């Protein structure tokens, strides 16, 4: 993928280093809300992408550059501190109480719901925006959680593998969830290349994938990573049913909606495995990780909620929820769903 | 117990949730028509309210469905029966 445009001094310093090959120590700016700061979240996203696909024309050795890693560590400290403040302290419950605690954290809330809005009211352009927001994660769906495999043992590891096998379509490319999402993007006339819309994603969206990467790349945070996965799975079946219905209402055919339809049944399986067999077993073996499991779930719900609220608020105000960028990286402006006979 | 003596398939009730079916199984209609599971492990609806029966779609969470992970032991209530 291409390097994005900078959004401030910090992201400019990181991007400039990757382009020029010379790293100059950057100072962390004072930020009021790290979870919504465009400059900080983009800088962190660029640091993390070096561990996934890298950037066109950038030396892959930057992934382990000590200076850049030190800067990333400073950003992560600010990010993790803000996440823990947002979610508050979590109780160190026993293994038997973990599934119920996760269920309570992920219960459907009253009030405005992105899934309900998309099911009944979203325009095709708003649906495209929704898909663009999800694309940075969904085109690498399940990859961050794969980092947890060598860090787990016993039943928790077996449970994670059982989930991941399904995420990766049992090894069949056409059934891989990331590929199903690519198909949905194509049906909507969107650019399916990984990272194509990075410049258009606001900080509240980047914060969600950055949280996943932070949990994934630190063994210390393995409890939060599996708790986050459980929260994802436990708040997925019902919303995905609504997203699929919304796309059908807008004229999407069975290929376009397969990603959502697949997740209704898949995540009804995964949520049981994740809550009981993965998180429950991990806490049974490592009681000291209980609070972090719940932290990961609470952080996932909180950041997901902030991102969803941004979409609803933007649309209610008659605005796009994506960042305005001059030039490239814009979603297709077609009014018809590609692949839908008219 | 060795793998040789394990059953080909297992069904696991999850507390307040579906039945998970794992192993070498086939789901067929009474007429013998195959219902495609789509994945190695499936969740079968046990609350009765799923819209994708026989599979679970998470609706049990909206209706305050309760059932234990083990065998339920409540007997018929003479007051109501």
ipTM score assigned to the predicted complex: 0.87
Residue A74 within any structural domain of the chain:
yes
Domain boundaries, position A212: 92-316
Instruction: Identify the domain boundary among A86, A113, A134.
Output: A86
Q: Which residues of B touch A (CB under 8 A)?
A: 14-18, 20, 38-43, 51-52, 55-59, 61-62
Please state, rounded to an integer, the average pLDDT across all residues of chain A: 94
- Reported confidence tier of residue B31, pLDDT bands at 50, 70, 90: very high
Q: What is the mean pLDDT of residues A10-37?
A: 94
Residue A239 and residue A124: Cα distance in Å, rounded? 18
Residue A1 within any structural domain of the chain:
no
- Reported confidence tier of residue B20, pLDDT bands at 50, 70, 90: very high
Same domain flag for A234 and A219: yes
Residue from A55, A68, A57, A60 nearest A22 by CA: A68
Residue B54 within any structural domain of the chain:
yes
Backbone angles phi, psi at A189, to 5 degrees: 75, 25
Structure tokens, A309: 């609220």
Domain boundaries, position B49: 9-25+35-68
Q: What is the mean pLDDT of residues B62-81?
A: 82
Beta-strand ranges (E) seen in A121-236 are: none
**pLDDT, tens digit (0-9, with 9 covering 90-100), for A203-212:** 999 999 999 9
Q: Which helix (H) or strand (E) is A60 found in, with range? A: none
Number of structural domains chain A divides into: 2
Same domain flag for A161 and A245: yes
Same domain flag for A103 and A153: yes
C-alpha torsion sign, points A330, A336, A337, A341: negative
Residue A63 within any structural domain of the chain:
yes
Residue B61 within any structural domain of the chain:
yes
Residue B80 and residue A275: Cα distance in Å, rounded? 36
Residue B59 within any structural domain of the chain:
yes
Residue B77 within any structural domain of the chain:
no
Q: Which helix (H) or strand (E) is B22 found in, with range? A: strand B19-23
CATH number, domain with residue B50: 3.40.5.90
Q: How far is A106 from chain B (nearest CA, A)?
A: 10
Distance of CA B42 to the CA centre of its chain: 9
CB B43 to CB A165 under 8 A? no
A233 contacts chain B (CB < 8 A): no
**pLDDT, tens digit (0-9, with 9 covering 90-100), for A324-340:** 987 544 444 444 455 44
**Which of B38, B59, B62 is opposite residue A265, by nearest beta carbon?**
B38
Query: Bridge partners of B42?
Result: B21
- pLDDT given for residue A330 in this prediction: 43
Query: Bridge partners of B28?
Result: B34
Which residues does chain A have within 8 Å of residue B41's beta carbon, measured at their own beta carbons? 162, 166, 269, 273
**pLDDT, tens digit (0-9, with 9 covering 90-100), for A246-278:** 999 999 999 999 999 999 999 999 999 999 999
**pLDDT, tens digit (0-9, with 9 covering 90-100), for A196-244:** 999 999 999 999 999 999 999 999 999 999 999 999 999 999 999 999 9
Number of structural domains chain B divides into: 1
Q: Which helix (H) or strand (E) is B23 found in, with range? A: strand B19-23
CB A264 to CB B57 under 8 A? yes
Same domain flag for A102 and A60: no
CB B56 to CB A269 under 8 A? yes
CA distances in angstroms from A226 to A83, A151, A166, A332, listed in the order given: 16, 11, 16, 36
Residue B52 within any structural domain of the chain:
yes
Residue A128 and residue A307: Cα distance in Å, rounded? 15
- Spell out the residues 6+ positions from residue A313 whose beta carbon is closer than 8 angstroms to its own: none
């Amino acid at each position: 993928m291409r390097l994005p445009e900078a959004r401030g001094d910090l992201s400019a310093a990181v991007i400039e280093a990757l382009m020029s090959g010379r790293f100059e120590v950057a100072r962390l700016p004072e930020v009021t809300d790290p979870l919504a700061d465009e400059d900080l979240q983009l800088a962190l996203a660029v640091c993390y992408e070096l561990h996934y696909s890298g950037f066109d024309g950038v030396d892959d050795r930057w992934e382990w550059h000590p200076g850049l890693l030190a800067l990333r560590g400073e950003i992560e400290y600010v990010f993790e501190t803000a996440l823990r403040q947002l979610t508050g302290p979590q109780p160190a419950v026993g293994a038997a109480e973990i599934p119920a605690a996760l269920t309570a954290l992920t219960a459907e809330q009253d009030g405005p719901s992105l899934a309900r809005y998309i099911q009944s009211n979203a325009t095709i352009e708003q649906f495209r925006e929704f898909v663009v927001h999800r694309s940075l994660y969904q085109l690498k769906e399940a990859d961050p959680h794969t980092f947890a495999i060598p860090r787990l043992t016993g039943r928790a590891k077996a449970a994670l593998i059982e989930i991941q096998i399904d995420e990766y379509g049992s090894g069949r490319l056409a059934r891989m969830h990331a590929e199903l999402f690519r198909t949905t993007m194509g049906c909507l006339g969107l650019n399916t290349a990984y990272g194509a819309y990075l410049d258009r994603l606001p900080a509240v969206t980047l914060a969600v994938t950055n949280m996943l990467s932070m949990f994934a790349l630190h063994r210390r945070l393995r409890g939060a990573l599996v708790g986050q996965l459980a929260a994802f799975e436990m708040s997925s079946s019902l919303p995905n049913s609504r997203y699929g219905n919304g796309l059908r209402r807008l004229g999407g055919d069975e290929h376009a909606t397969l990603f959502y339809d697949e997740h209704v049944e898949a995540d009804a399986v995964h949520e049981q495995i994740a809550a009981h067999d993965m998180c429950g077993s991990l806490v049974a073996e490592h009681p000291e990780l209980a609070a972090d499991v719940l932290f990961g779930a609470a952080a996932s719900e909180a950041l997901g909620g902030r991102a969803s609220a941004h979409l609803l608020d933007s649309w209610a105000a008659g605005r796009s929820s994506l960042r305005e960028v001059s030039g490239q990286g814009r979603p297709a402006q077609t009014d018809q769903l590609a692949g839908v006979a008219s | 117990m060795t793998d040789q003596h394990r059953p080909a398939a297992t069904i696991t009730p999850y507390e307040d949730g579906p039945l998970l079916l794992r192993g070498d199984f086939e789901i067929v209609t009474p007429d013998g028509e195959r219902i495609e599971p789509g994945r190695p492990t499936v969740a079968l609806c046990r609350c009765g309210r799923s819209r994708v029966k026989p599979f679970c779609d998470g609706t049990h969470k909206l209706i305050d469905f309760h059932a234990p992970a083990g065998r339920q032991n409540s007997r018929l209530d003479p007051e109501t029966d």
